Chains A and B, each alone.
Chain A
Amino acid sequence: MSRALHFRDARIICPVAGERRGDLFVADGRIVDAADDAQVIDCRGALLAPAIVDLGVASIDHGAFRAGGIVRVGLMPDQRPVLDEPGIVQRSALIGRPNLWIHPIAAATRGLEGTDLAEMAICASAGARAVGTGRSWIADSGVMARVLAYARDLGLAVVVHSEDAGLVGDAVATEGETATRLGLSAAPALAEPIAIARDLMLAEAAGARLHLRQVTTAAGFDLVRAAKRRGVAVTCGITPAHLLLSDNAVSDFRTFTRLSPPLRAEEDRRAALAALADGTIDVLCSGHDPRGPEEKRLPFADASAGAAGAATLLPLALGLVRDDRVALPRLMAMLSRNPAAVLGIDTGSLQPGAEADLMLVDPDAPWQINADTLPGAAGNTPFDGLPVQGRVLRLFKGGRALA
């Protein structure tokens, strides 16, 4: 058992209790009121917050997660092989421990093919904390209705990717001036709200829990806002890319800006900031999807979609606080407590009794995002060259120091 910890003079940000300046104690892996013989960590006013729970990462990337203050991840089902077998789910759930707790999002349909229900209960008993559609969408509304109803029986949230595949086709960008000028095949932004509208109605009818992994359009946020008002059990997430970039970042065919869903128009980005401010967005995630040069040093349409995001999630998120887009305690909830709740995990609190998953952060430390030196498996970031502030100083999982 690791020694008790005494965080002295920290700026403590608790998603439950709010912000306070003071001391925090950890013993036996949990937060306590006081501890004897504790190792003192002099925080000198640095931020102490719950470590990040990153919902919906595409792959496991220890270096990036550690640098990014991430100790738990929800792993997307579209792995090779697909997370639809208990053996595979169980292995995924255990390989990261003790430093990284991986919570598999099992495939909602067998092989993610969108036709037959996967063995959700068996996968849940093997460690899956939710079921999902991966990067694809279930085109058959009958199948989707049964997925939601069946997952509801098991108390599992259904994590969906919201893009109508028929409208998307082979598109690699959002319809608009940029895609037209560059001659890129493009889909209307409408592909997202159409998918969201259907899934919201089906989830409401089934009484199921629905998590929209990424909402990126004004019409999509309107639908979510209205559904929440009706009491639908829906939550939604977004990555910093869709809050900070619009489709004109695609100019010059920069493949690091090829994302899924694709970057949207500036009006949609502004709507995302508004949804962040009014609380429509519940979860801020990295969408971490490292892709090496063999998948990115290609013509735009031939490059894989996805961006490395784990190491840049926190500094970009802190920038949103600095720009007064969101308050710090709520941001920390979006990074820990809310995504954990989607997975049915009670964490992301600094109240006594809570698990001591902690990060100590210098919110002002300046650095420049550099694709060539980004920690992790690959540096495919759309923010290459951007100066940011905020670094993880120390990271703890269950009271054990990781960094």
Chain B
Amino acid sequence: MPASDHRPASLIPGGAVFPHRHLTGIEGLEPHEIAFLLDEAENWIAANRERGVPDKRLAGLTQINAFFENSTRTLLSFEIAGKRLGADVVNMHAAQSSVKKGETLIDTAMTLNAMRADVIVIRHMSSGAVRLIADKVDCPVLNAGDGRHEHPTQALLDALTIRRRRGTIHNQRVVICGDVLHSRVARSNILALTALAAEVRVCAPSTLMPPAIERMGVTPFTDFDAALDGADVVMMLRLQTERMSGGYVPSSREYHLRYGLTLERLARAKPDALVMHPGPMNRGVEIDSNVADHAERSAITEQVEMGVAVRMACLDVLTRRARRVEGWA
């Protein structure tokens, strides 16, 4: 039975279906709670496409996007999600903030709290930083990526993409390939996909493979061709250019030789296997253009679309208590 079918959300009354105050990670979420967020996101996909009567349920609420690490895509996605729901969205870029003047993270958090934000979205370069802030503020906190720890909305949007394109997540063979060691996307995806009963394989050169990763319920591979065998989904990770110059990998062309997703390689996966990438892509390094742009196989632009829907769902769900939604207050 697919884990996503475990306990239909409709049978659980009100806020009990998602009792968490924050979303700091996939860790700690029950499978039915993940499925609930995916179901909620589904509702926003059609609304976003139709652009009918706007739903401004977050009107009057202040959403602060506190990004201590540079980001374009995720920040934009959270901003659009908040604005679609009618929230007043304020972006705080660490590069322009008092963080550079030596203010500590806790002080920054207390400042944001004192400004009476209704929801705070945080990205930070240190693992655990978001949880540290979540403990200090009164409003819900959404993790938009902390160090190499977690990036929960990315995992949710990836799960949603897989569920829509493949019909289910249960028993899907998902290969996550790339810099698993430094990747928060990989960690959150491993947690979400294993919780929803997918078969997860991770693939990387040993220099980029976290020790004891099999303890997270995945099968590690160093041979990409072997990992791809019979795959339903191939999820490529971005490799930072600074890690391709001898530190972890000898060169980008050697990386492409061993781990680049080419059409030829993709043939080892199932004929209808889905190709995913969290972006931004290094075309010609981890993924070839004719794979990334493949009309039937690539879900990369769809992932971006799902991202907005998932973030709308998370912002909506996390603010329900404050908005005194019936059954949640």
Binding site for B on A (CB under 8 A): 175-177, 179-186, 188, 252-253, 294, 297-302
Contacts and interface: CB of A to CB of B under 8 A. Distances in A.
A299 B215 contact: no
Nearest to A175: B211
Given A183-B149, A183-B150, A253-B128, A297 B212 contact: no
Contacts of A179: 210-211
Nearest to A302: B126
Contacts of A253: 127-128, 131-132
B148 interface: yes
User: 6 tightest A-B contacts by CB?
Assistant: A253-B128, A299-B126, A183-B149, A183-B148, A299-B129, A180-B210
B170 interface: no
Nearest to A294: B104
B127 A181 contact: no
B216 to A, nearest CB: 7
B106 A297 contact: yes
A301 B147 CA distance: 10
B129 A180 contact: no
B32 interface: no
Contact of A177 (B27, B126, B147, B212): B212
Contacts of A177: 212, 215-216
Given A176-B211, A176-B212, A184 B105 contact: no
Given A179-B211, A184-B149, A253-B131, 9 more contacts: A176-B211, A180-B212, A180-B213, A182-B127, A182-B149, A184-B128, A253-B127, A253-B132, A302-B105
Interface string B211-242: 11101100000000000000000000000000
B22 interface: no
Given A180-B213, A183-B147, A299 B128 contact: yes
Interface of B: 27, 104-106, 124, 126-129, 131-132, 146-150, 184, 187, 210-213, 215-216
B127 A183 contact: yes
Contacts of B128: 182, 184, 253, 299-301
Nearest to B126: A299
Contact of B211 (A186, A252, A298, A300): A186
B122 to A, nearest CB: 11
B132 A299 contact: yes
Contact of A181 (B27, B106, B131): B27
Given A175-B212, A299-B147, A184 B131 contact: no
A253 B106 CA distance: 15
B43 to A, nearest CB: 31
A79 B260 CA distance: 50
B73 to A, nearest CB: 20
Nearest to A299: B126
25 contacts: A177-B216, A179-B211, A180-B210, A180-B215, A181-B27, A181-B216, A182-B127, A183-B127, A183-B146, A183-B148, A184-B127, A184-B147, A185-B148, A186-B211, A188-B211, A253-B127, A253-B132, A297-B106, A298-B104, A299-B105, A299-B127, A299-B146, A300-B128, A301-B127, A302-B105
Contacts of A175: 211-212
Given A253-B131, A294-B104, A181 B187 contact: yes
B267 to A, nearest CB: 32
A252 B212 contact: no
- Of the listed residues B104, B187, B210, B213, the one surrounded by the most CB atoms of chain A closer than 10 A to its CB is B210
Contact of B131 (A176, A252, A298): A252
A183 B152 CA distance: 13
Contacts of B146: 183, 299
A186 B148 CA distance: 12
Contacts of B127: 182-184, 253, 299-301
A298 B132 CA distance: 8
Given A181-B187, A183-B147, A253-B131, A299 B216 contact: no
Contacts of A182: 127-128, 149
B200 to A, nearest CB: 14
- Of the listed residues A176, A183, A300, A301, the one surrounded by the most CB atoms of chain B closer than 10 A to its CB is A183
Contact of A300 (B106, B126, B150, B187): B126
B216 A297 contact: no
- Of the listed residues B128, B149, B150, B211, the one surrounded by the most CB atoms of chain A closer than 10 A to its CB is B128
B184 A183 contact: yes
B134 to A, nearest CB: 11
B131 to A, nearest CB: 6
A224 B150 CA distance: 40
A179 B131 CA distance: 16
A180 B216 contact: yes
A250 to B, nearest CB: 10
A253 B148 CA distance: 13
Nearest to A180: B210
A11 to B, nearest CB: 45
A329 to B, nearest CB: 41
Contacts of B216: 177, 180-181
Contacts of B132: 253, 297-299
Contacts of B105: 298-299, 302
A297 B147 CA distance: 17
B265 to A, nearest CB: 27
A67 to B, nearest CB: 28
Contacts of B187: 181, 183
Given A183-B127, A253-B127, A253-B132, A297 B211 contact: no
A244 to B, nearest CB: 22
- Of the listed residues B126, B150, B184, the one surrounded by the most CB atoms of chain A closer than 10 A to its CB is B126
- Of the listed residues B27, B104, B127, B147, the one surrounded by the most CB atoms of chain A closer than 10 A to its CB is B127
A187 B109 CA distance: 31
A185 B216 CA distance: 17
A179 B146 CA distance: 14
A5 B73 CA distance: 76
A299 B124 contact: yes
Contacts of A181: 27, 187, 216
Contacts of B129: 299
A169 B27 CA distance: 28
B126 to A, nearest CB: 3
A301 B126 contact: yes
A179 B104 CA distance: 24
Contacts of B213: 180
A310 B124 CA distance: 35
A36 to B, nearest CB: 61
